[in-house]
Amino acid sequence: MKFRLKDLKNYLQGKIEPEKILNDLNLKAFETSYENGVFDIDILYNRFSDSASILGIAKEISILTGLKFKEPIFKFKESKKKIEKEVKVKILSKKTSFYFGRAVLNIKNKESENWLKEFLNFYGLNSVNLIVDLSNFVMFEYGAPLHIFDLDKIKNKEIIVREAKRGEKFFSLDGQEYELQGEEIVITDKEKILALAGIKGSKLAEVDLKTKNVFIEAAVFDPVSIYQTSRKLGIKTEASLRFERKVNPYIALKALERISYLLQKYGRGEILRGKFSFGKFEPQRKIEINLDHLNKFLGINLRIFEIKNLLKKLLLNFKQNKNTFVLYPPLERNDLNTKEDIYEEILRIYGVNNVKENFEPILHPAYVDENFKFNFKIRECLKELGYSEIFNYSLFSEKEKEILKEVLKENCEPIEILNPLSKNYDFFEFTLLSGVFKGISLNQKKFNNLKIYRLEKIAFLENNKPKEKYSLALACTQKEKTKALEEMKTVWEFLKKKIRLKFKNESFNEKNYSFLSLGADIYLDNEKIGIIGILNHKIKNFYDIDGDVALLELDLEKIKNKSLDYEKFVYWGSYPEIIRDISFMVNKEIKTEEILEIIKQIKIENLKNFQLLDIYFLEANKKSYTFRFIFQSEKGTLKDEEVESLVERIKNILENKFRVEFR
């Protein structure tokens, strides 16, 4: 919003320095620029009602710079004739908070003087006539929009403030016709709409050069209603902009008195005795502050005489009782309602730049649960792998309990719900697998190659005592069984590295779960920490699942205990790794952990690491394995013949021990 320096000077006394004003406004009030005698000020929304005016900015400059503020002083003479004998006003709209009005008769309306034309031209308005121009002048001076009606054009001189009916027509000052949708606030007489409240006047009560008797309106309308009407009809005016940001009733009342005075001064009008007043003013606000609390809150060290000077600068009346002050905010300030608002004002004038960087530590870091941190890390890992988290009820049915109860260890029992919501919610979850299976069933038709997981608490009875802990269940779908299992093993390997699991031994012990066609328990240091496997046809039919599904369920409590908080760095070596895969078939009776144990015992130079890539069952009591072996030398790059020699030694050990058939 733009303000001319020469207009502001009319309300300030003292040596005016534009650069100082600019600096103080930017530092302590509003973002401001200055060029060619004009301030361009970005007024904050909560300060619009008291600062979006020449008087408002002049008062702010006075507070910031110490210049004396000169508020307009005026008096006018009322006639003996009372307003209620000339004009009647009815307020029928609940969207009208305050409504004030005065009547001025026998005005000598004419063309405005040059100073007034020049003033309005700068602020973006055309000169119309003396009456209209003076009302616009007061709007920019005080910040409260006014509306003036030609009293002789009002039927029976009765004004009604109500809400529009659907389909009513409004004819604006510029000749446009609008059809109202209902509930807009309108000013009417018995026959016609005189104005669209807070937005624009009607041609039917227009003030022209022939006008001599007027009714002046100063009001406070509901900001939301004005905003909606303005946007709905596509009418945006200076008045609507101000009403949308809520007009202060005390300022509106002052503006009404000011325009009455100016019409008498320049138009020799007769001001009728009394005014129309609707609306209940709130009692004077009282805010109590304590100096010690203020200093602690702001991190400063003000003394009593300093706080008193600051309060006087802010035009805040107060009563003092030792370190306590009872403040009475100016009636024009809508934004000062709490002690924190007062603290903000004090700090603004004191200067944020004057606050030293030695705040007393009044805030402490929030406690972060270790489980939350660990679970967050798990979720981030799975996000990297493209897995989506799903959420289910933590209850399942009797049938699901029977299918999955094998996952419970000895001395553990499911927790039964005493008053279940339905037969599908009889038991509290002791495994998250059921919810994952339901998630696949619900989403498989919408997505190919699903990757989902659940990370929640499970609960069960252990030695007849309730226990709960965090668990993680994952599932993925693939067209081929081997690829699904390979995906799940990749996830496990990735998690081990990311959460930095510390263990000496890892093994996969095959186990015939009734819900898996191929399954194994995962052990770290001889402690079971999870299950991995492929879902069988019986369970897929039960949950209505198509395709092959691999699953992984992990006990996060046990895994967390093996997770390191720090990264252990390992020397990568100066020479490249050489990778070889070995695939073979063995008798179905041979356990995976036996093969893993033998491979671990192999003492071959330059064998750096190995991993199980694949396992699946064949016909004729056979099963197939694929292992990956990683070779690396610290002395130089290994040659192919050296690596092949090492691979042959490994094959010989496996063949002698398990009678394997290589593929």
pLDDT in tens, 297-308: 998 999 999 999
Tokens of 467: 């226990």
Beta bridge partners of 163: 185
294, two tokens: 């203020």
pLDDT tier for residue 485 given thresholds of 50, 70 and 90:
confident
User: How is residue 182 annotated by DSSP?
Assistant: S
For residues 259 and 207, give the distance between their C-alpha atoms in angstroms, rounded to a whole number: 15
E-strand ranges in 274-389 read 276-278, 287-290, 317-321, 324-328, 388-389
Whether the pLDDT of residue 360 is over 60: the answer is no
Query: Residue 584 pLDDT > 60, yes or no?
Result: yes
Q: Is the pLDDT of residue 612 over 70?
A: yes
C-alpha dist (Å) from residue 566 to 380, 382, 499: 17, 20, 9
Mean pLDDT of 596-621: 83
- Specify the higher pLDDT residue, 406 or 268: 268
| Structural tokens at position 603 | 């003492």
Give the integer Cα–Cα distance in Å for 255 and 101: 11
Residue among 277, 228, 219 at smallest CA distance from 249: 219
Average pLDDT of span 237-259: 97
Whether residue 604 has pLDDT greater than 90: no
Averaged pLDDT for residues 622-647: 90
- Tell me the average pLDDT across 473-481: 85
pLDDT at 603 over 90: no
Q: Is the pLDDT of residue 600 over 90?
A: no
pLDDT at 557 over 70: yes
pLDDT value at residue 571: 63
Identify the residue whose tokens are 């606030």. 185
- Which of 491, 507, 520 lies closest to 616 in space, CA to CA? 520
CA dist 331 → 49, 181, 252, 255, 334 (Å): 11, 36, 12, 14, 7
CA 5 to CA 41: how far, in whole Å? Answer: 12
Q: What are 477's strand-pairing partners? A: 549
Residue 655 has pLDDT above 70, yes or no: yes
pLDDT class for 630, splitting at 50, 70, 90?
very high
**What backbone torsions phi and psi does residue 216 show, to the nearest 5 degrees?**
-105, 130
> Do 472 and 374 contact (CB within 8 A), yes or no?
no
Strand pairing class (578-587; 661-662): antiparallel
Q: What is the DSSP string of 496-555?
A: HHHTTB--S-EEEEE---TTEEEEEEEEETTEEEEEEEEE-HHHHHHHT--SEEEEEEEE
Start and end residues for every CATH 3.50.40.10 domain found in the chain:
78-278
530, 536, 539, 541: CA torsion to nearest 10: 150
- pLDDT score for 364: 66
pLDDT of residue 222: 97
Q: Which CATH class is domain 78-278?
A: alpha beta
How much is the pLDDT for 125? 95
Give domain 370-561's CATH architecture: 2-Layer Sandwich (3.30)
As a whole number, mean pLDDT of residues 252-281 equals: 97
Mean pLDDT of the 275-296 span: 94
The C-alpha atoms of residue 663 and residue 622 are separated, in whole angstroms, by 13
Which of 258 and 282 is assigned the larger pLDDT? 258
Strands 324-328, 451-462: pairing is: unpaired
pTM, whole model, 2 decimals?
Answer: 0.58
Mean pLDDT of the chain: 91
Q: Which of 213-222, 376-385, 462-471, 495-504 has the lowest mean pLDDT?
A: 495-504
Q: Give the residue-averaged pLDDT of 360-385.
A: 82
pLDDT-based confidence at residue 566 (cuts at 50, 70, 90): low
Within 8 A by CB and 6+ apart from 239, the residues are 139, 145, 147, 198, 199, 200
Cα(604)–Cα(631) distance, integer angstroms: 10
User: Quick one: pLDDT at residue 358?
Assistant: 65
Distance CA 163, CA 301 (A): 54
Tell whether the model's pLDDT for residue 204 goes beyond 60: yes
Pairing of strands 214-221, 146-150: antiparallel
CATH class of 287-354: alpha beta
pLDDT for res 569: 56
Q: What is the pLDDT of residue 382?
A: 93
Arch. (CATH architecture) of 578-662: 2-Layer Sandwich (3.30)
For range 402-418, the mean pLDDT: 86
pLDDT-based confidence at residue 444 (cuts at 50, 70, 90)? confident
Residue 309 to residue 346: CA distance in whole angstroms: 10
Q: How far apart are CA 271 and CA 79, in angstroms?
A: 6
Ranges of CATH 3.30.56.10 domains, the chain: 2-69, 287-354
Start-end of CATH 3.30.930.10 domains in the chain: 370-561
Beta-strand ranges (E) seen in 197-267 are 200-201, 214-221
* Helical packing angle, 370-384 and 481-498, nearest 10°: 140
- pLDDT the model gives residue 52: 96
In the chain, DSSP finds a helix count (H) and a strand count (E) of 20, 35
Tokens of 356: 């030293």
| Backbone CA torsion sign across 122, 124, 128, 133 | negative
Residue 643's nearest CA partner among 601, 608, 612, 613 is: 608
Q: Is the pLDDT of residue 143 over 60?
A: yes
**pLDDT given at position 266:** 97
Contacts 24+ apart (CB under 8 A), 502-509: 502/562, 502/563, 502/564, 503/562, 505/600, 506/596, 507/592, 507/593, 507/596, 507/597, 508/532, 508/592, 508/593, 508/596, 508/612, 509/591, 509/592, 509/593
| Cα–Cα distance list, 83 to 76, 102, 131, 214, 359 (Å) | 15, 7, 19, 11, 60
Eight-state DSSP code of residue 416:
B
- Rounded to an integer, the average pLDDT of 544-558 is 92
Q: What is the pLDDT of residue 567?
A: 55
Segments of the chain assigned to CATH 3.30.70.380? 578-662
Residue with more model confidence, 480 or 350: 350
Fold of 2-69: Phenylalanyl-tRNA Synthetase; Chain B, domain 1 (3.30.56)
Please give the Cα distance from 350 to 356 (Å, whole number).
Answer: 12
